A and B are shown apart, each in its own frame.
Chain A
């Protein structure tokens, strides 16, 4: 008898995705090729705001190799609607600003698509773009969301009377009293700047209509193929079985690929109209002006504390730059609003949130989705308070963190779906204690003084975070054992590099023989699963993982029951080992495939044990509450006060994402998130001038962290199982990014404490730091 395979769940098993990627055999959307395929290029607005008179496409259409030039006027007969109606529900909108499929009368941000050229090659299509003549009448522009609320401010949309697209309050407790009775009050204004997602694969779409079956297949580099399919069916007035959407290998998502974009429906409509496959691949310059962005927020906040440094209340306001359209909903600002007080005991809270339109690329979630900004604000307030009261930064946090004995801890705030925020599990003070001990927090002061004596400024920072993960309500998974014994797993979960297929295979293999090689996973294909959402909000291990577990358990039970009839023994005597069901302690066995074939039935004969036909199960576990991951980060930096350059020299994170399905993948997700956060803290700045013209549209101007800027990162895993799902898992995809800008800035302030530098923003550039150091020196001289 062969050795039983080891369990797969909880082990750092290698990924099933890797071999194809390492051999150059993966299939990303731009790798698809069809014999008669055409290529598309989009004409995009060079103005941040303009009225459009005429669009003359005749010269472009006449260029040899051009097959069609389409504007909204040409597409309208093919579509049920002129706009993409994608906004999630909320009573807090003041008006709707749905994106047009293609702009016709008005453009409201640089990069907005106006027309598409479809030609024999992308080269020819781009030649033709230069021949399209658009009659623009430039209109006043608003680039800064702080000015956009001024009654005399230019209007982002000419027909909409003001720029306040939505507003809401998030409040509980008696903040007035908290501030009246406070022994200490600190306040500050904070600014977080926008960046892009910058998945290394840009977006892309290929659409192909099969006239024989009248079926349209759309391959899209999307995080949400099932959502895209529903929208395409609505817009093109087609039945759901006549449109298949597939996310092939996706080269990173990081949020914006969850959004449905104009290009997806335009390419699909063009393929239908022209009767030929059409491909559009976003280039990087397009990515800078057409893929959604995030993080522009302005906060004005105050914290009240008692004499011992216990938080009594927090109040303030948040101005959130929404961009030019509602491309997803109010969710980023909602997440920011509830995240501020989450890790701590905050008896009273009042936040006035305003979402403001600007003539810039629409804002939707990027890894972290509003949570890094809120964490930055909370942790800055705590650092200010520690300084004012004369407490150690770690001690003030220790006094205020939610304690393990409070779990589960309900907060008097609601998620967007209406259920209360409940921190489900974890020991936040212990995570902070662990990371401080490992980082040598107590001994750092001596190291810092020693370095300063050498003329080096080193600093240490601390930040805690809580991340809402596992957004419900469900994500289906089907597990089927085929007649050849192979285990086929299908899910609407969508892989964009996180190892989702490996995760699902591990959960299923754990129940069904332990052989990862025997599991084949299909993810992100609407033909395999017609319900579901896809990948966002750190949700797939929680939601799809739970469904995969439930389905695999059902299939296991059925396989064993069927085998017990076939082998004439008790179910308890059976176990699944590899691809066989064995009678424990004997050499009697039956193949999984044989059981599956038996359950396929023979016409005229009873199935064994009167079991239902087939060896498969589909499960869609429903969870409404979110599983909250958490952690404590410490970073060390060295700041060169002559150049303003910051080197991150060490990074530690004690984090808790509940039970880990694959520790290797967890490490990868967390470290990748930390890199994104370091990039947000120090490098990524998506600039716009006062006319909302983008100033950074290539990687010479927009900096991303590279290997030489990354510190060694040490992770400490804590595993407090979530009580919300059978597996005990919490999401991990966004956790690394959330505390990172906060902890880096805290460390920079610590390194520069002799200059009394307060950094109220991220990113902070070397020039910004030199100005702050200078200001500190001048204050010194003034005293």
Chain B
């Protein structure tokens, strides 16, 4: 088995274009974390179940631990670092997480926020059941999910009020 094959890829991450020569077996998660130093995306299981590594690929949520970096060629990726702007206040969803104690250790939080970003893009007023179903692919060991659900409902209200 030859692990040495490398390919030049070009991808956009949080609006910035990167050209990278990547090992063909490098995961997208490791490319983001260790090559682009965007360490906000976390790796919790490396088998696609826990959801901590979820990023947006062309607007859709994807497990960056199950995707190869080369598969991200020509794609637009958004990570947790792209969901707020440094120096500006937290966006409504993140602020609601803070207000409603939607995070504790915060390790799963980036994947949860990207997942919810997709949900709220598809459905601007999800029911509690819809929120829980959307979250069911993300494991949080700390919160019991109640604060997360409360945060989403509050953020939905804030966004609808135009906050």
Contacts and interface: CB of A to CB of B under 8 A. Distances in A.
Interface of A: 14-15, 17-19, 21-28, 30-31, 33, 123-124, 127, 198-202, 249-252, 254, 283-285, 496-499, 664-665, 667-668, 671-676, 698-700, 704, 706-708, 710, 712-713, 736
A71 B38 CA distance: 34
Main secondary structure of the interface of B (DSSP, over half): loop
A202 B113 CA distance: 20
B143 A200 contact: no
Given A17-B106, A23-B84, A200-B52, 13 more contacts: A18-B98, A21-B103, A22-B90, A23-B90, A24-B81, A28-B39, A30-B42, A33-B39, A665-B101, A667-B147, A671-B146, A671-B147, A710-B144
Contacts of A284: 44-47, 50
B119 to A, nearest CB: 12
Contacts of B84: 22-23
Contacts of A698: 45, 47, 49
A392 to B, nearest CB: 29
Closest 5 CB pairs of A and B: A24-B40, A497-B105, A251-B107, A21-B106, A675-B144
B40 A201 contact: no
Contacts of B148: 707
Contacts of A665: 101
A372 to B, nearest CB: 16
Interface of B: 3, 23, 25-26, 33-34, 37-47, 49-50, 52, 79-81, 83-84, 86, 90, 94, 97-99, 101, 103-110, 113, 131-133, 135-149
B132 A707 contact: yes
Contacts of A667: 101, 147
A605 to B, nearest CB: 43
Nearest to A497: B105
Contacts, number: 177
B94 A22 contact: yes
B104 A672 contact: yes
Contact of B141 (A15, A198, A283): A198
Contacts of B132: 707-708, 710
B97 A699 contact: no
A207 B141 CA distance: 27
B155 to A, nearest CB: 12
A735 B41 CA distance: 31
A707 B136 contact: yes
Nearest to B111: A200
B145 A707 contact: yes
A199 B105 contact: yes
A262 B29 CA distance: 27
A252 to B, nearest CB: 4
Nearest to B95: A22
A121 to B, nearest CB: 8
Contacts of A14: 98-99
Given A15-B101, A200-B108, A664-B101, A24 B41 contact: yes
A76 to B, nearest CB: 32
Nearest to A31: B39
| From B49, B80, B132, B142, residue with most partner A Cβ within 10 Å | B142
A250 B105 contact: yes
Contact of B49 (A26, A199, A675, A700): A700
Contact of A28 (B47, B50, B107): B107
Contacts of B23: 123
A699 B50 contact: yes
A707 B135 contact: yes
A23 B101 contact: no
